[in-house]
DNA sequence: AACCCCTACAACCGCGGTGGT
DNA sequence: AACCACCGCGGTTGTAGGGGT
């Protein structure tokens, strides 16, 4: 397959984003959406590669991103989902509204991994799509690039799945500004009931998590019947069920011994 | 007060998948 | 059918900041 030349072009900026760049990117996406990431930086006048723009938007600038500490419930959910899905961070993120795969990945590696008992209990990596590789990266970031990335409005909390989200913002909210966009985000009625408004402190109750965890894994291939999805995934006894599912899907050799 | 170590997080890299031509 | 371009994902790294000594 063709490899995207991406950032290899010289002259493109790397490293931390400046507040100005953030502004430009957000404004451009709000106005035109992000139909084509590759073309976006050029159109927006950013000296970044499309990939970098996409990452910045998805992991940081998207209005529906909920920042701040993970609640205990969220952490538990991550652990549980990781048990089921392995390192499929995007799949996990899809079930944790307002959290990005990158963020979840970070949290996992920084504390959750330890919390559940030592590094890498088992081989979830394989379940997560199984990327191999990694030759060490020698030369990396140019220099500190002082500018600590600005943190735009961080109170946003809405839910909507990743893909639907960004485009709806881009297309529906002219120059509304990201914070107001977040307040009027389209959310499903079910989820809306679990989230307070964007300006209020994010509050999660038990029902939210049971609902979240029982949402079907739509769009994510875990090799199961949609109807079976997360019927009641709550404890180790369900592991047997999932083991069976994965077994049938032929992925079992990579699963940890539970 | 200075130094060192650790943690958290933003960002980059490279690959696989997919859709278009 | 083959090729190409792009998107999205997961792994990894660099750096800033905080805490401890």
- Tell me: do A46 and A26 sit in the same domain: yes
- Tell me: do A75 and A182 sit in the same domain: yes
- Tell me: do A156 and A241 sit in the same domain: yes
- Residue range A36-83, pLDDT digits in tens: 888 888 888 888 888 899 888 988 888 888 877 788 888 888 888 888
Classify residue A140: in a domain, yes or no. Answer: no
- Residue range A104-153, pLDDT digits in tens: 888 888 878 766 654 333 333 333 333 333 333 333 333 333 333 333 33
- Rounded to whole angstroms, the Cα distance separating A158 from A156 reads 6
Structural domain span for residue A18 = 13-61
Confidence band of A207 (pLDDT split at 50, 70, 90): low
- Tell me: do A253 and A215 sit in the same domain: yes
Measured CA to C1', what is the nucleotide nearest A129? C10
What residues contact A117, with CB distance under 8 A and at least 6 apart? none
Who among residues 156-195 of A has its Cβ near strand C, under 7 Å? 162-163
The pLDDT assigned to A77 comes to 86
- Tell me: do A255 and A160 sit in the same domain: yes
- Tell me: do A113 and A17 sit in the same domain: no
Closest protein CA to C1' of nucleotide C15, residue: A144
Distance A53 CA to C3 C1' (A): 27
Classify residue A96: in a domain, yes or no. Answer: yes
Confidence band of A211 (pLDDT split at 50, 70, 90): low
On whether the CB atoms of residues A208 and A188 are closer than 8 A, the answer is no
Classify residue A131: in a domain, yes or no. Answer: no
* Mean pLDDT within A82-99: 86
Buried b (16+ CB within 10 A) or exposed e, A59-78: ebbbbbbbbeebeebbbebb
- Tell me: do A181 and A254 sit in the same domain: yes
Q: Cβ of A227 < 7 Å from strand C?
A: no
Q: At what angle do helices A19-32 and A162-172 cross, to 10 degrees?
A: 80
Closest protein CA to C1' of nucleotide C14, residue: A141
Task: State the alpha helices, DSSP H only, in chain A.
Answer: 19-32, 40-44, 50-56, 72-85, 89-94, 101-107, 113-115, 124-127, 162-172, 178-183, 189-194, 206-214, 236-249
Instruction: Tell which wins on pLDDT, A123 or A211.
Output: A211
The pLDDT assigned to A213 comes to 53
Classify residue A209: in a domain, yes or no. Answer: yes
On whether the CB atoms of residues A127 and A58 are closer than 8 A, the answer is no
- Tell me: do A37 and A81 sit in the same domain: no
Number of domains in chain A: 2
Distance A159 CA to C8 C1' (A): 20
The pLDDT assigned to A60 comes to 87
- Residue range A148-203, pLDDT digits in tens: 333 333 333 333 333 333 334 333 333 333 333 333 333 333 333 333 333 333 34
Q: Cβ of A22 < 7 Å from strand C?
A: no
């Amino acid at each position: 397959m063709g490899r995207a030349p991406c950032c290899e072009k010289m002259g493109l900026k790397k490293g931390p984003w400046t507040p100005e760049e953030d502004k430009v990117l957000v404004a451009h996406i709000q106005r035109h959406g992000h139909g084509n990431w590759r073309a976006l930086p050029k159109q927006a006048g950013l000296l970044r590669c499309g990939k970098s723009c996409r990452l910045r938007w998805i992991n940081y600038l998207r209005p529906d991103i909920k920042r701040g500490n993970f609640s205990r419930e969220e952490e538990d959910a991550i652990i549980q989902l990781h048990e089921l899905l392995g390192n499929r961070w995007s799949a996990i993120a899809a079930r944790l509204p307002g959290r990005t795969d990158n963020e979840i990945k970070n949290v996992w590696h920084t504390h959750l991994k330890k919390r559940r008992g030592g590094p890498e209990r088992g081989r979830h990596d394989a379940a997560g799509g199984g990327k191999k590789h990694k030759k060490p990266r020698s030369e990396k970031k140019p220099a500190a690039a002082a500018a600590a990335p600005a943190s735009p409005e961080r109170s946003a909390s809405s839910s909507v799945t990743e893909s639907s989200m960004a485009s709806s913002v881009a297309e529906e909210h002219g120059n509304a500004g990201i914070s107001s966009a977040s307040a009027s985000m389209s959310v499903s009625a079910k989820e809306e009931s679990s989230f307070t408004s964007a300006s209020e402190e994010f509050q999660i109750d038990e029902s939210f998590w049971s609902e979240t965890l029982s949402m079907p894994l739509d769009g994510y291939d875990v090799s199961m019947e949609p109807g079976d999805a997360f019927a009641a995934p709550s404890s180790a006894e369900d592991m047997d069920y999932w083991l069976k599912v994965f077994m049938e899907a032929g992925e079992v050799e990579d699963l940890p011994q539970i």
